Structure 1
Amino acid sequence: MSAASYDEAERLGRLLALVAREDEHLLAVRQRLLGDDCDVSEARAEALLANATGIDRLESFGAKFARMQDTAVDKLIPVLLRAAGESVFAAIDNLGRLERLGLVESADDWIAMRRLRNRLVHEYIEHPADLASELTRACRFTHEMHADWLRIRQYAAEHLHIEP
């Protein structure tokens, strides 16, 4: 193995380990925020906004939701594609390639997650009805992100012989 390919494999291993931790933290904060119920009503959103603990958990969820996407899309996926001998392009094209490889369920959903991520992180959603809708979507997207992460991890282990 050349030094360059060894460095790339080492980097991929580190990124896989990082996304594994981010996935674990995202699932944990989602559980603390919403439990097992992704259906967020306006009243439930109002209750979250009514106390410091709810607001802190909401902000933590938004940050972890964004962080996992950023790491996966901007760092992990390009390195994974290069390690697999694939060309690397813009994020939307890379996601499309992963969808064709069966590693993500839907590239379009990942793009929708990015838009939602921007709303959760960069905008303070003041109206409980809007927050309820966005939290419901984000909660459901965490299930998809987790499932996609497991497929990516399995692919890296089976095809590239790299594990987190």
Structure 2
Amino acid sequence: MKPEIQIAYFSKIDWPKIATIYKEGIATGIATFETKIPSWETWDASHIKSCRLKAMIENQIVGWAALSPTSKREVYKGVAEVSIYITSKHQNLGIGTLLLSQLIKESEAEGFWTLQAGIFTQNKPSIALHKSLGFREIGYREKVGKLNDIWYDNTILERRSKTVI
């Protein structure tokens, strides 16, 4: 039997658990180019204040999703980049689908018309998750960054809202 998953907003008080899940993602080597967890203040300043969601099972945070602006230019105010992380102990339970689905709804309620994701090409589960919820592959960035002296490509996906026009 699948556990009941709740989705809720998160805030600074949740940061220690959110950061732990983020650290797990960093350790995989295919989730982010970050190599260390930023402070709450640094992370908070670089992410959109709305659309910060956590997934919980039995009051334990097991995943999170948030948006970052893609540009400071006014013309791109409705475009954001997706971050989504699920703890390794709770993968393959549908948490990613629930989180990303809710993030899409929240983003549209906030007026975002395009969501983007730059995903390590090796991260096939994340690419599949995004595609399953209407993201389309629009290309890739070849050797866009180095991590531990290895160049990595990013697959670029985007989802255009059908409700925010």
TM bucket normalised to smaller: under 0.3
TM-score (ref. length: structure 2): 0.23
TM-score (ref. length: structure 1): 0.23
More strand per residue: 2
Q: In terms of Rg, which structure is larger?
A: 1
Higher relative contact order (CA 8 A, sep 6+): 1
More helix per residue: 1
